[in-house]
Structure 1
Amino acid sequence: MSPRTLRLEIEKTTRTTYMVGTELMVNLNRCAPHQSKFFTVKCTPNVHFKITPPTSEESSPPNLLAPNSSLLITMDEVSETANDNKLSVRYYGEKMEKLGNAILHLTAVEISLDVDADRDGIVEKNNPNKASWKWGPNGHGAILLVNCDSESTFRKTLDSEKEEINRVSDLKDMSTMVLRINGPPDLPQGYKLSMHITQTDSESVRVFRPRKSGKAHTSWKHKILKLFLKEHLMVVGMDKLAEEVPYLGGKTELEFFVEGLRFPDRGFDGLITINLSLLEPTGEGLPGTPIFTDKVMFRISPWIMTPNILKPMEVFVCSTSDNNAFLKSIKNLVDSCGYKLKVCHEYVNRNDRWMQDEIEFGYIDSPHHGFPVVLDSPRDQGLKDFPYEVLLGPDFGYVTRYIDHKASSLDSFGNLEVSPPVTVNGKSYPLGRIIIGVAFPTTTHGRNMTQVVQDFLWAQKVQEPIALYSDWLTVGHVDEFMTFVPAPDRKKFRLLLASPDAGYKVFRTLQKNGHGKAEMFPDFEEAITVDDILSDKKLQAENDYVQNCIDWNRDVLKKELGLDDEDIIDLPILFKMLEEYDKRGQRAAAYYPDMVNMIVLGDQLGIPKPFGPQVNGKCALETEMRSLLEPLGLKCTFIDDFASYHKLLGEVHCGSNVLRQPSTFRWWNLEL
């Protein structure tokens, strides 16, 4: 820290407050009387000074006044009372005649604005790195949560949108900041402490402090009045950029609560600086000038998605007029796994069954607290009120991004996935990488995920997104051709990809083994034989196209996730092209229930029942799936979603969602 410049005046007493640990610099020529040649300095014991440039060793006071003579003043201990330390400079002429005297009264204090800069959950004193941010296990910088849950159970409002703190429980969602003071009981007259932030940061943070209490009052009038008083006062935030904070005197601490208001996003890197300045009076009617400023920096926690390999906590599904059998199957699966099931009934979902498309679960985290946060998609169909009205609550946050145009199918969150942890070319992604679907790069009229959502996902930084080509699908979601399942070896997971080639291989093997007359969709009006499927040249051509699209994505995923072919399992799934979808040409949909579109609950998989050809009383497609997945220790349960989901162009994953435990990896330890 560079020295603070201080002016002295001849035959006047200058008073200032000194911050222990800093230096004051006095230019001795600025106030020297005309024809001054020498000077002497005297001070009380707690004041120390150094003359620069130093005088020669042979000389003794008085000191020769050089053109650049200065004093560097320091103090070791805080003052007991205001202005209790003194220093004087006496000037002399050529013949040692006294020309004038400048007097300085000093009040020494210690002031430190402190945060948990080392990220251990404790606010340490005066960490040297408290005003900056550094990623990594050896990094530093305090962490802030967006206060996006709601402590209220009635008339829900995000806590960050309320003007005041209504419940003490809300404080745990905020980060603690401590003002530590050591000094005399009172500052010299006119001095003030001011907390201040920039206009930009005021959109992202608020700071509260407890109401200063005086003597205890026990009268009934006081108790009633207290009910109507805010227990915590907002110091800075919103449009309030600066506010005086009390100097309590002695050796005291004043606790502040810092609240994040918005997530990192385009144009906002999540970094916030809070300043505390000591203001010195300059004259009646004039504003005080800052003579010392302490700074702290926070970084707002990103929103983090949870991959399939993390432990489930609760499964969410909709109840509709036609999905009772599906609902029963999901309930049986969830019960057998020992997890919770939350059913969203029709009066809430308004016959919108696509739970995966409406929301994506994630979380925020800090050394002292964390909680799940649901990201609400901009699709806004029947389930639009569910995330806010049902999920939002104490320690369950909510975030969304608004758009000013009609959402496309690619804005639904079946088009938003995240990989397990990976390492790619030596770079680690311990929280995985977000995966979204977009139009092919050469397409001029394709559908894309809306830009504001993409901007939000990129700004979180800790799960760098990957864009896949999904616009070739009628619905256009990445979960229609890929998912991840846990595995005991290699990278601890496998990427599952839909594969028409693998599907045709199963059907050709059936035909070769004499099962060409076995029927796909037995007992359904759509029943068709293996021979008929294999003789359909148009279907074969369509699936060749689909395989090309999936292979393009396969290569992207191998490169961006650092995968080998041994990390990928191809699932036997055929597709068909649908005619003139929304007047933009043909796009693909699953020919039979899309088995990759599954729900992953630990080692239990809920897979769409494909209704494949029967061989020896068993579905050949189910048999193939078991042979691919059971060697990994996974258990396959096939769920009938044919009428209630598949015919509506969705499957098990589309109709369900899973809240999972957060990763044990702390995001701030990521090397960026």
Structure 2
Amino acid sequence: MRHSANVDAIITKNDTAKMRVVNGEKLWTLEKGSVIEIMMNTPSTETNDAKVTVAYYGPGADAPIDKAGVYLTGIEISLDVDADRDGVVEKNNPHKASWTWGPDGQGAILLVNCDKDSILSRLEDGGDENVYNKEDLQDMSMMMLRTRGPEKLPTSYNLLLHTSASDSDKLEVFHSQNKQYSYVLGKKKLHYKIRYTGTTEHKFFVEGLCFPNNGFPGLLSINVSLLETMPEGIPETPIFKDTVTFRVTPVIMTPHTLEPIEVYVCSVKDNYLFLKQIKNLVSEANYKITICFEYVNRGDRWMQEEMEFGYIQAPHKGFPVVLDSPKEGELKDFPVRELLSPDFGYITKVALSSEVTSVDSFGNVEVSPPVTVNGKEYPFGRILIGSSFPTTTGRRMTKVIRDFLYAQKVQAPVELYSDWLLMGHVDEFLTFVPAPDRKGFRLLLASPVACYKLLQEKKRLGHGDAAMFQGLEMKRLTISKLLSTDSLEQENNYVQHCIDWNRDILKQQLGLTEEDIIDIPALFRLDGSGKALAFFPSMVNMVVLGTELGVPKPYGPIIEETCCFEENLISLLKPLGLNCTFIDDVVSYHRKLGEVHCGTNVRRKPFTYKWWNMVP
């Protein structure tokens, strides 16, 4: 047997094969049952430029009685992505066809192209089979097809880029040729024949169209195959395939403890004083504010309820996104009309109108700061959503949103019990604030018990005649009168039980201790249906801007010219380096069943930690 220098030949299945030298050449003697494995060690420069020859010798003969040979053409084909997640497309990474989590994980990452870089795109950029500008390309992940070999393929061979039917509606691929970008794979095209031109690189750009969701874990694969054309009527035969796998980036929501970038608030006809105080707070905290005026909000003031901010991220790029609530208020046009823009993505989930209730507003979606629970790390915190009591029927967040939040994986949701509230929102009884010690935050919980304890202490000190609601056009209520109202106390005993149920869940699911929780005085009343409303502006429903807090002014009993509820909150939070600014929201928000947090929204900086480095 002889072979060319650019061929490696290995003899297997015969331990008796022997090498001998004939006329200065090394020749292998093959026996019956010998198997020769032939491999090209370099690509060919011309078609059929390599050869393996087997000579047949008679017994004792030095000259062959016959010869058989095979001509070979070596072609190197590699479909490449950024599988090691460093922002560069490396060559033939051995892990490019799979995807693993963690700091040592491998596999490429795909952004969903949900921003709008061009006025020509109909809504978001993704899904319209066009590339309008270079900015749009930057939202995509690069994929390279590298080939080495002769200028032409042997007759009857073709290169084909392809994806599966199940993946085709979740991605689009564009081929870069002569500064033009052609749509080559997607819902309308499952495969694309590539013109082979020898040693070259083909650039492709891949965009995601769909976030992880129920039934779609986020993994997508693209293949390149070398096909041999068979006689007419017989399908092409694949003789080589290379595969790359992407994971679509999840949406990551941001907790109150991350640094703010921009505050959003509505201007309506009766919130002038509220708006002025919010603007002053944001200005003093040195953040940006965006005001949504009535021609857009159409009288809807509930900025928190309409949308939730987050971000998406790949190694080469990331940008903020806004998740639009399925609850269609008058603010419904604001996220898509005012926020969707270059490098600002938009996501919406549509539900049947009959399924949507008040718990689908995004005051019912909060995010904890990063926590560790029984050794399990949640570096992006956990999403908190309000639901019904486990043993009863009641309001639950609509399935399309719940499924979406669960499918993102990186912020494993925790379901709390909020159906006891009239609006049913978790932000009515909890919030998180930053802290310089312990876990880096405190959980603030509304507490009727803490409120009664504070009022009883003030009465014991001789302040029973101090009255609430001073300065408001409503009946004043003294401490003594409030404490003697049995029906109010019974209602708040019930509310405290509901909050305590959530307290236990939060301690267990977030790994908290009592030292991580601060009880904030609050009272509630029940309406005719048995649902709870804040009796006075609920101070936990605040906006958190770093160390500056915009807190609903509670109009508590005035003792020595100071509201005792305000004084108590300041004493609890000042040791953490937090400053409280009390904002009057009674007329414009509280009486309409909301508070400061309900009327504002905050876009925050992303985490520095990369989501692909965690293990869900």
TM class, shorter-length: over 0.9
Distance (Å, rounded) in 1 between the aligned partners of 2:408 and 2:56: 62
Match of 1:542 among 491, 499, 503: 491
* 1:462 positional shift: 0.3
Q: Residue 575 in 1 paired to residue 524 in 2?
A: yes
* 1:102 positional shift: 4.1
Match of 2:221 among 254, 264, 273: 273
Which position in structure 1 is the counterpart of 2:6?
A: 46
**What is the letter of the counterpart of residue 417 of structure 1?**
E
Rate the CA distance shift 1:44–1:62 in 2: closer, same or farther, 3 A.
closer
Which position in structure 2 is the counterpart of 1:190?
A: 156
Q: Residue 605 in 1 paired to residue 549 in 2?
A: yes
Distance (Å, rounded) in 2 between the aligned partners of 1:155 and 1:42: 61
- State whether residues 199 and 239 of structure 1, in contact with CA within 8 Å, keep that contact through their aligned partners in structure 2: no
SS in structure 1 opposite 2:277? helix
Deviates more, 1:238-247 or 1:166-175: 238-247
Q: Residue 289 in 1 paired to residue 237 in 2?
A: yes
Q: Residue 563 in 1 paired to residue 512 in 2?
A: yes
Distance (Å, rounded) in 1 between the aligned partners of 2:406 and 2:599: 26
Render the CA deviation track for 1:593-647: whole Å, top value 9, x for unaligned: 0100000000000000001111111111100010011110000000000011000
* 1:498 positional shift: 0.1
- State whether residues 358 and 377 of structure 1, in contact with CA within 8 Å, keep that contact through their aligned partners in structure 2: yes
Which runs of no fewer than 5 residues in structure 2 stay unpaired? 21-26
* 1:283 positional shift: 2.8
Distance (Å, rounded) in 1 between the aligned partners of 2:68 and 2:304: 76
Which position in structure 1 is the counterpart of 2:172?
A: 206
Rate the CA distance shift 1:350–1:155 in 2: closer, same or farther, 3 A.
farther
Deviates more, 1:47-56 or 1:423-432: 47-56
Describe how 1:301-312 pairs up with structure 2 within 5 A. Answer: 301-312=249-260
Render the CA deviation track for 1:167-220: whole Å, top value 9, x for unaligned: 22100000011111221222212321111111111121111111347xxxxxxx
Describe how 1:225-374 pairs up with structure 2 within 5 A. Answer: 231-250=180-199, 252-284=200-232, 286-374=234-322
**What is the letter of the counterpart of residue 190 of structure 1?**
S
Which position in structure 2 is the counterpart of 1:408?
A: 357
SS in structure 1 opposite 2:126? helix
Match of 1:178 among 130, 144, 147: 144
Rate the CA distance shift 1:603–1:628 in 2: closer, same or farther, 3 A.
same
SS in structure 2 opposite 1:159? coil
Which position in structure 2 is the counterpart of 1:73?
A: 38
Distance (Å, rounded) in 2 between the aligned partners of 1:87 and 1:179: 29
Distance (Å, rounded) in 1 between the aligned partners of 2:372 and 2:415: 18
**What is the letter of the counterpart of residue 621 of structure 1?**
F
Q: Residue 657 in 1 paired to residue 606 in 2?
A: no
Which position in structure 2 is the counterpart of 1:116?
A: 82
SS in structure 2 opposite 1:511? helix
SS in structure 2 opposite 1:621? helix
* 1:543 positional shift: 0.2
Distance (Å, rounded) in 2 between the aligned partners of 1:429 and 1:264: 19
Q: Residue 594 in 1 paired to residue 543 in 2?
A: no
Which position in structure 1 is the counterpart of 2:570?
A: 626
SS in structure 2 opposite 1:262? coil
SS in structure 2 opposite 1:330? helix
Q: Residue 667 in 1 paired to residue 611 in 2?
A: yes
Distance (Å, rounded) in 1 between the aligned partners of 2:469 and 2:311: 41
- State whether residues 388 and 417 of structure 2, in contact with CA within 8 Å, keep that contact through their aligned partners in structure 1: yes
- State whether residues 153 and 393 of structure 1, in contact with CA within 8 Å, keep that contact through their aligned partners in structure 2: no
SS in structure 2 opposite 1:200? helix
Describe how 1:480-559 pairs up with structure 2 within 5 A. Answer: 480-524=428-472, 525-559=474-508
- State whether residues 552 and 595 of structure 2, in contact with CA within 8 Å, keep that contact through their aligned partners in structure 1: yes
Render the CA deviation track for 1:324-363: whole Å, top value 9, x for unaligned: 1100000000000111110111111111111000000000
- State whether residues 149 and 394 of structure 1, in contact with CA within 8 Å, keep that contact through their aligned partners in structure 2: yes
Distance (Å, rounded) in 2 between the aligned partners of 1:77 and 1:191: 19
Render the CA deviation track for 1:648-668: whole Å, top value 9, x for unaligned: 110000000000000001000
Match of 1:467 among 415, 418, 430: 415
The CA RMSD over aligned residues, in Å, is: 1.8
Render the CA deviation track for 1:216-243: whole Å, top value 9, x for unaligned: xxxxxxxxxxxxxxx2111211131111
Rate the CA distance shift 1:421–1:62 in 2: closer, same or farther, 3 A.
closer
- State whether residues 266 and 293 of structure 2, in contact with CA within 8 Å, keep that contact through their aligned partners in structure 1: yes
* 1:288 positional shift: 2.7
SS in structure 2 opposite 1:664? coil
Which runs of no fewer than 5 residues in structure 1 stay unpaired? 1-40, 214-230, 581-585
Distance (Å, rounded) in 1 between the aligned partners of 2:71 and 2:231: 17
Describe how 1:429-440 pairs up with structure 2 within 5 A. Answer: 429-440=378-389
Render the CA deviation track for 1:553-576: whole Å, top value 9, x for unaligned: 000000000001000000000000
SS in structure 2 opposite 1:458? helix
* 1:59 positional shift: 7.1
**What is the letter of the counterpart of residue 647 of structure 1?**
R
Rate the CA distance shift 1:162–1:629 in 2: closer, same or farther, 3 A.
same
**What is the letter of the counterpart of residue 257 of structure 2?**
I
**What is the letter of the counterpart of residue 322 of structure 1?**
D
SS in structure 2 opposite 1:249? coil
Distance (Å, rounded) in 1 between the aligned partners of 2:79 and 2:244: 7
Distance (Å, rounded) in 2 between the aligned partners of 1:46 and 1:665: 47
Distance (Å, rounded) in 2 between the aligned partners of 1:199 and 1:526: 67
Which position in structure 1 is the counterpart of 2:23?
A: none
SS in structure 1 opposite 2:369? coil
Describe how 1:77-226 pairs up with structure 2 within 5 A. Answer: 77-90=42-55, 102-153=68-119, 156-212=122-178
- State whether residues 17 and 29 of structure 2, in contact with CA within 8 Å, keep that contact through their aligned partners in structure 1: no
- State whether residues 255 and 369 of structure 2, in contact with CA within 8 Å, keep that contact through their aligned partners in structure 1: yes
- State whether residues 120 and 132 of structure 2, in contact with CA within 8 Å, keep that contact through their aligned partners in structure 1: no
Q: Residue 455 in 1 paired to residue 403 in 2?
A: yes
**What is the letter of the counterpart of residue 146 of structure 2?**
R
- State whether residues 55 and 64 of structure 1, in contact with CA within 8 Å, keep that contact through their aligned partners in structure 2: no
SS in structure 2 opposite 1:348? helix
* 1:155 positional shift: 6.8
Render the CA deviation track for 1:6-62: whole Å, top value 9, x for unaligned: xxxxxxxxxxxxxxxxxxxxxxxxxxxxxxxxxxx3322222212221341557567
Query: TM-score, with normalisation over the residues of structure 1?
Result: 0.88
Distance (Å, rounded) in 1 between the aligned partners of 2:382 and 2:392: 25
Total equivalences in the alignment = 607
* 1:63 positional shift: 4.1
Distance (Å, rounded) in 1 between the aligned partners of 2:18 and 2:583: 97
